[in-house]
Structure 1
């Protein structure tokens, strides 16, 4: 099996912004097959109809690393719950499990099977900021950590990239992936 990484962008974003292309280059240089899918309907289409499309578009195995940012991290929760086999690692950057602000969040499920997510998530890491302008903050990360275990990393770096926050590299995420 070849090592593979799939990087999921957030709501209203694309795979060609922020630190996603940089991380792709870093991991490719280390021998990973990297996928950066573009999902414009992420957090627009309800997760119950959106998730099957994501599951069908990718393969997941014990050599797969998943990285999700914001809405992409929220998507990872549903994805991990519905996998038929565990992945090696999942890194949720600015992740959340409940509506973090007053915006609609169709990417969220009404509830989660935390045991199944933990069982399929491999080495789970949650990276959140103390203060996040969208509410994907330390409290959201702590809730996930308390239910799933793994590692919680708190920074003071906003949303780890956005339209008004240049964030072209993310060495921490690179270092977390063996």
Structure 2
């Protein structure tokens, strides 16, 4: 009997790389548990653009199914959701959003210009709900300097039917915040994948 391999795509955030923060640790932990893990280098990470990031994911993934899982950090969550909008007649295994957002704060002028398309371009939530099948886990922090916590919690709940898990004093859940390992992300993937 052929073993079905579960795939996990870890999508880094704005200004990050596959080697940022907890990404290498999570990738290794998932590999140790038998997952096939891909941590792609997203294009122009210092100036992320929706079209380029979604196209890059489409090129890398090619075929998503119920054994396909995603973990995103920050804008990586947005990229995943926008990629899911493009799927036709497909259901995936699930998504874990770390420090995901729909609204941001404390950005400088240049950052606002980069973030604006991500903030203002509508997301097809009904389509995403159909693809996700309620398999979404969101992990936020109560002191994230960029995340409008209450607003984003409401959007995740009202639009994607999920309650955010709110960690205490974890900032933007990056290496600077002491998050070089993120057991919560590992636990979340194991839970939604049934592993």
Query: TM-score if structure 1 supplies the norm length?
Result: 0.89
Gaps of 5+ in 1: none
Shift of 1:165: 2.4
In 2, Cα distance between the equivalents of 1:175 and 1:135?
A: 23
1:31 aligns with 2:34: yes
Q: Cα–Cα, structure 1 residues 34 and 136, in superposed 2: closer, same or farther, change >3 Å? A: farther
Residue by residue, what CA displacement relative to the aligned partner does 1:123-175 show, whole Å, maximum 9, x if unpaired? 1111111221122534313312221113421112111114x323211111111
1:172 aligns with 2:177: no
Q: Cα–Cα, structure 1 residues 50 and 23, in superposed 2: closer, same or farther, change >3 Å? A: closer
In 2, Cα distance between the equivalents of 1:44 and 1:92?
A: 20
Pick from 144, 153, 170 the counterpart of residue 165 of structure 2.
Answer: 153
1:17 aligns with 2:20: yes
Residue by residue, what CA displacement relative to the aligned partner does 1:51-88 show, whole Å, maximum 9, x if unpaired? 12321221311101100001101212201211221211
Count of residues in Structure 1 that have an aligned counterpart in Structure 2: 177
Q: Hey, what does 2:54 align to over in structure 1? A: 51
Gaps of 5+ in 2: 191-195
Q: Cα–Cα, structure 1 residues 177 and 53, in superposed 2: closer, same or farther, change >3 Å? A: closer
**Which structure has the larger Rg over C-alpha atoms?**
2
Q: Cα–Cα, structure 1 residues 139 and 130, in superposed 2: closer, same or farther, change >3 Å? A: farther
State the SS of the aligned residue for 1:79.
helix
State the SS of the aligned residue for 1:154.
strand
Query: TM-score if structure 2 supplies the norm length?
Result: 0.82
Q: Cα–Cα, structure 1 residues 17 and 43, in superposed 2: closer, same or farther, change >3 Å? A: closer
Pick from 91, 106, 109 the counterpart of residue 86 of structure 1.
Answer: 91
Pick from 121, 126, 135 the counterpart of residue 132 of structure 2.
Answer: 121
Q: Hey, what does 2:143 align to over in structure 1? A: 131
- Structure whose residues are more often helix by fraction: 2
Pick from 92, 110, 114 the counterpart of residue 121 of structure 2.
Answer: 110
1:98 aligns with 2:103: yes
The structure 1 segments of at least 4 consecutive aligned residues displaced by more than 6 Å after TM superposition are none
